[in-house]
Structure 1
Amino acid sequence: MSPLKCALLVGAGLAALAAGPALAQQKGGVVNVATVGEPPTLDPMVSTADLVGIITQHVLETLYTFDKNWKVTPLLAEKLPEISPDGKVYTIRLRTGVTFHDGSDMTAEDVVASLKRWTQVASRGKQTAGNIAAIEAVDPATVRITLVAPYAPLTALLAFNNSAAVILPAEKQDNPMKEPVGTGPYKLKERKPDQYIQLVRFDGYKSLPGEPDGYGGARKQYLDEIRFVPVPDANTRIEGALSGQYDYVDALPVEAFDRLKGQKATEPVLLKPFGWPVFVMNTKQGLTESRDVRLAVRSALNMEDMLAAAFGNKEFFALDAAMYPKSYVWSTDKGTEGAYNVGDPEKAAALLKKASYDGKPLRILTSRQYEFHYKMAQVAAEYLKAAGFKVDLQVVDWATLTQRRADPALWDIYITHSPFLPEPALIGMLSTSAPGWWDTPQRRAVVDAFNSEADPKKREALWGEVQRVIAADVPFIKIGDFNALSAKAPKLEGVVPAPWPYFWNASLKK
């Protein structure tokens, strides 16, 4: 079974996933989408927040995206890149007749300017920049990327909607971004902070032909308007789903599952398995700069208790030390032995003594907008206190968290989560420029070897070496696997369950 099929089960969702949106969908209407909060930016290059990607993927597009089997597929590019025999030169033909929301034509000049901006401002772009010798326009419809050495994740990085290589007009490359002018099926009409982000149909949109295919294929514009409404309180999101106030509600606590079943105004959407919660360590400065302190944190934590507090029913979580579950080709146990679900305060205390810990508060940054983050933090704090840590649990809104984590002086651990990604190089914490700033000779050796290998089977083995170094150095701690819950109105058709929900191809049944 493919990773996507494993990840996107919802009722009889496999049939829906294969079939795509229903026939004879009706045009028109407004969809209200409740999100976990206000996005910190509408520039997906400069943010790794899922919320930013969810919203902006409707407005700003990339050269490539992912199909229903998580394979890279063209979006603004005409086809997959032509790669030279030595793996260093990528020639990308662009689709013609594509226009931006301002009416200008997309050309190679725009793509080159955008990719250069990506290498300068995006964490994943910066991660890639050292491998790039040149980005240049061959002609108005062709771009050439020349690499210093082969770099296998390049097309996947160009396809990802997170720290995304979105294509903007050449004259709109400001940083910070002044306005999100893209090529997407919807365009920004109005943003009222803490009230809504209003997207409206872009009548000049040029869709790919054929049928929808995951994030790829045709993007049909049935809806007149999509409104993303920030609803930070999880209970308010649940009540909004039950009352029919919102047509789609993202990121619900899993304990709401039984309440959503059998309702007229809403129905549960379960993504199983969805991803993994993670504690990211600040390796740049502060307490967790010390590897012994990081080891002490991991030794103190009982992952089973944390997951139980966060998700309750075992149907919604699984203990798993490996970075990927068994259904993925990347699954390996390498490096995980004795490094997971330890919950040993004495072992942790010994490591703290070795690190000459002086009682300085361990600053943990979390948010209640993802309630399971907060619940895990509460349990973790008690285990860490038992090991001898003084804990400073800082609970902020998600937008503030994403701002604070950019400053290494402000935190020691921040809590986040990630879906299981089709390409391990997409994992944000592997980038030396991402918050956490993990950068050691051992990391460079194994990550560079993994990224420069083109053979898929060899890459699987090399990923085991990356996981071994992660386990040894503890730049971040995976807590386990979890399933995610959202809700949608029965009248909302054509929404394929996905880690980053999208509403092109969606319609309202009248």
Structure 2
Amino acid sequence: MKHYALAFATSIVALMSANGSALAQTAGGVIDVATIGEPPTLDPMASTADLVGIITQHIYETLYTFGADWTVTPLLAADMPTISEDGLTYTIPLRTGVTFHDGSEMTSADVVASLDRWMRIASRGKQTAEVIDGIAATDEATVTITLKSPYAPLLSLLSLNNAAAIIIPEENADQDPLESYVGTGPYRLEERVPDQYIQLVRFEDYASRDGEPNGYGGARLQHLDEIRFVPVPDPNTRIEGAVAGQFAYVDQLPVEAYDRIAGGATEPVVLAPFGWPVFVMNTQEGLNSDLRIRKAIQAALAPEDMMLAAFGSEDFFSIDGAWYPDSYAWHTEVATEPYKPMGDTETAMALLAEAGYDGSPLRILTSRQYEYHYKMAQVAQAYLEAAGFKVQMDVVEWATLTQNRADPALWDIYITHSPFLPEPSLMGIMSDSSPGWWATDAKHAAVEAFNAESDPAKRVELFADVQKVIYEEVPAYKVGNFNALAAQAPNLEGVAPAPWPYFWNAYLGDE
């Protein structure tokens, strides 16, 4: 049976979810978590980078989040909103007694100021601002959001942990960039030493929700004294650290390291299916402002060879042009004909000739911190050059990539990836202000109809129209589906497998 939201992926190792067994654990301990590099910011409103969301979700919280079945569940909100019959008014009750890291108590004034900042700064906030008529504090514990038109993705957009609608103190909401890293989360920032570690310590006055842990929602229990996120940009160094047991958790390992990890001091964790790698096109300026060039790229690329180079074994990937795999209700094969497993060089050459391509370099922005990004880029370069492109590979640190992609003068394609998101409107390309800057009448017509519909079955049908426009206008190229590999120490327990790993509810058991 298909579902509208994928349950948390299963793992190869038997990871204990944070349930009653974890509740009985004694607090204490420090863990080191190896990440793919240094985050470009600790302001999750200002970045869509998964790395930023992974770290900062421990510091800041949102009104809503996603439960274990990927449905929206309250976090700082006391309950689900009351929605008017016309779908235009959302009345959100707030939890009381929630304390910020600076000791102040959260009120509706903080929420209104935070959401105003989100709409001004975050790509997903700007996307949402287009349909918001106003946000007001009804009283100290109630906020009302009024819409210009019905907008089905609102709660999902308020729930995501990147370009996130975090709640911060009202007096900090004017900061841009954010200078005071004060949230309501279970851990607070103690120290950041760039390129060495980000140290989070238990927030003693944290107000957890009652009940059981539930994915990113429910109770958030602070068993650990301290979490240190350690940037380890080189994938081989992450592998060796995992094999040696240097870290309690190692994120984003090359999948070909599975056997080595399985024979080492930590245990492999596989999330399957995890998500999709994507080549994002700069539609605003440069070569890819010409649709014919983008279509030539679409024709030239050979996803089967790209995925094979990136992941090695079909155990870790599948070739699939649909933006969602067939285990999702959002799955549709509509308009996927241009997706050719081994590419179509002749069609690409014809499109280049039609566009009058003058030999200008096609600049691909990528990083080796996600090694599979780089391997896909290498294969893509060969196929693009066979079609007649001159290709320039710009290989930078991931933090630099996330900064450079904000400047349309610096790139034509950048390579990224995403977990399969429970709501398609969370996809970066759905926002006009997301790097790539895809904004056309055809997009707006399809996306607005999709977002305005509240009936789940009708939304599934309307997503087919969205996918059709994506294939027709090529703002991005989905390469395929892939699984992800991480590693976890045997004595680290209470960690539920998740695309953005989190460590509240985690605890250290016996060696």
Same structural fold, with TM-score higher than 0.5 when normalized by the shorter chain: yes
- Report what 2:101 is aligned to: 101
- Report what 2:140 is aligned to: 140
**CA apart distance, 1:391:** 0.3
- Report what 2:49 is aligned to: 49
Query: Taking structure 1 as reference, are residues 3 and 315 closer, same or farther at Cα in structure 2, changes over 3 Å only?
Result: farther
**CA apart distance, 1:324:** 0.5
CA distance in 1, matches of 2:433, 2:47: 12
**Corresponding residue SS for 1:466:** helix
- Report what 1:250 is aligned to: 251
- State how 1:268-283 maps to structure 2 within 5 Å: 268-283=268-283
- Report what 1:499 is aligned to: 499
- Report what 1:92 is aligned to: 92
Matched to 1:330, the amino acid is W
Alpha-carbon contact 1:368-1:374 (below 8 Å) kept:
yes
**CA apart distance, 1:68:** 0.3
Alpha-carbon contact 1:167-1:182 (below 8 Å) kept:
yes
**CA apart distance, 1:161:** 0.4
- Report what 1:25 is aligned to: 25
**Corresponding residue SS for 1:45:** helix
Query: Taking structure 1 as reference, are residues 339 and 359 closer, same or farther at Cα in structure 2, changes over 3 Å only?
Result: same
**Corresponding residue SS for 1:31:** strand
**Corresponding residue SS for 2:158:** helix
CA distance in 2, matches of 1:284, 1:23: 51
Alpha-carbon contact 1:7-1:273 (below 8 Å) kept:
no
**Corresponding residue SS for 1:126:** helix
Alpha-carbon contact 2:17-2:495 (below 8 Å) kept:
no
**CA apart distance, 1:16:** 4.2
**Corresponding residue SS for 1:55:** helix
Alpha-carbon contact 1:6-1:327 (below 8 Å) kept:
no
- Report what 2:439 is aligned to: 439
2:193 is equivalent to residue 187 of structure 1: no
**Corresponding residue SS for 2:486:** strand
- Of stretches 447-456 and 16-25 in structure 1, the one that deviates more from structure 2 is 16-25
**CA apart distance, 1:436:** 0.3
Instruction: State the Cα deviation string for residues 437-475 of structure 1 (Å, max 9, x = none).
Output: 000000000000000101111000000100011011100
- State how 1:459-498 maps to structure 2 within 5 Å: 459-498=459-498
**Corresponding residue SS for 2:172:** coil
- Report what 1:158 is aligned to: 158
- State how 1:172-251 maps to structure 2 within 5 Å: 172-173=172-173, 174-251=175-252
CA distance in 1, matches of 2:25, 2:286: 55
Alpha-carbon contact 2:13-2:267 (below 8 Å) kept:
no
Alpha-carbon contact 1:199-1:225 (below 8 Å) kept:
yes
CA distance in 2, matches of 1:108, 1:147: 18
Question: Which stretches in structure 1 are left out of the alignment for 5+ residues?
Answer: none
- Report what 2:12 is aligned to: 11
2:365 is equivalent to residue 365 of structure 1: yes
Alpha-carbon contact 2:10-2:271 (below 8 Å) kept:
yes
CA distance in 2, matches of 1:271, 1:478: 19
**CA apart distance, 1:20:** 7.5
**CA apart distance, 1:94:** 0.1
**CA apart distance, 1:25:** 2.3
CA distance in 1, matches of 2:91, 2:7: 33
Query: Taking structure 1 as reference, are residues 313 and 498 closer, same or farther at Cα in structure 2, changes over 3 Å only?
Result: same
Query: Taking structure 1 as reference, are residues 20 and 369 closer, same or farther at Cα in structure 2, changes over 3 Å only?
Result: farther
Alpha-carbon contact 2:6-2:70 (below 8 Å) kept:
no
2:329 is equivalent to residue 323 of structure 1: no
**CA apart distance, 1:17:** 4.9
**Corresponding residue SS for 1:73:** strand
2:285 is equivalent to residue 285 of structure 1: yes
CA distance in 2, matches of 1:296, 1:346: 10
**CA apart distance, 1:118:** 0.3
Matched to 1:126, the amino acid is K
Matched to 1:252, the amino acid is L
**CA apart distance, 1:343:** 1.4
Alpha-carbon contact 2:5-2:71 (below 8 Å) kept:
no
Aligned identity (percent) is 65
TM-score (norm 2): 0.98
**CA apart distance, 1:345:** 1.6
Query: Taking structure 1 as reference, are residues 78 and 501 closer, same or farther at Cα in structure 2, changes over 3 Å only?
Result: same
**CA apart distance, 1:149:** 0.5
Query: Taking structure 1 as reference, are residues 256 and 391 closer, same or farther at Cα in structure 2, changes over 3 Å only?
Result: same
- Report what 1:427 is aligned to: 427
Query: Taking structure 1 as reference, are residues 22 and 202 closer, same or farther at Cα in structure 2, changes over 3 Å only?
Result: closer
CA distance in 2, matches of 1:432, 1:107: 32
**CA apart distance, 1:11:** 2.6
Alpha-carbon contact 2:114-2:167 (below 8 Å) kept:
yes
**Corresponding residue SS for 1:341:** coil
Instruction: State the Cα deviation string for residues 343-365 of structure 1 (Å, max 9, x = none).
Output: 12221111001111000000000
Alpha-carbon contact 2:31-2:227 (below 8 Å) kept:
yes
- Report what 1:356 is aligned to: 356
Matched to 2:466, the amino acid is V
- Report what 1:346 is aligned to: 346
TM-score (norm 1): 0.98
Instruction: State the Cα deviation string for residues 172-202 of structure 1 (Å, max 9, x = none).
Output: 1101000210000000000000000000000
- Report what 2:378 is aligned to: 378
Number of matched pairs: 508
- Of stretches 131-140 and 343-352 in structure 1, the one that deviates more from structure 2 is 343-352
CA distance in 1, matches of 2:340, 2:334: 12
Alpha-carbon contact 2:366-2:396 (below 8 Å) kept:
yes
**Corresponding residue SS for 1:277:** strand
CA distance in 2, matches of 1:11, 1:251: 15
Query: Taking structure 1 as reference, are residues 158 and 139 closer, same or farther at Cα in structure 2, changes over 3 Å only?
Result: same
Query: Taking structure 1 as reference, are residues 20 and 5 closer, same or farther at Cα in structure 2, changes over 3 Å only?
Result: farther
Alpha-carbon contact 2:419-2:499 (below 8 Å) kept:
yes
- Of stretches 406-415 and 341-350 in structure 1, the one that deviates more from structure 2 is 341-350
**Corresponding residue SS for 2:171:** coil
CA distance in 2, matches of 1:444, 1:499: 29
**CA apart distance, 1:26:** 2.9
- Report what 1:112 is aligned to: 112
**CA apart distance, 1:244:** 1.2
Alpha-carbon contact 2:5-2:328 (below 8 Å) kept:
no
Query: Taking structure 1 as reference, are residues 379 and 401 closer, same or farther at Cα in structure 2, changes over 3 Å only?
Result: same
**Corresponding residue SS for 1:314:** coil
- Report what 1:403 is aligned to: 403
**Corresponding residue SS for 1:500:** coil
Alpha-carbon contact 1:35-1:51 (below 8 Å) kept:
yes
- Report what 2:391 is aligned to: 391
- Report what 2:123 is aligned to: 123
**Corresponding residue SS for 1:271:** strand
Matched to 2:29, the amino acid is G
**Corresponding residue SS for 1:402:** helix
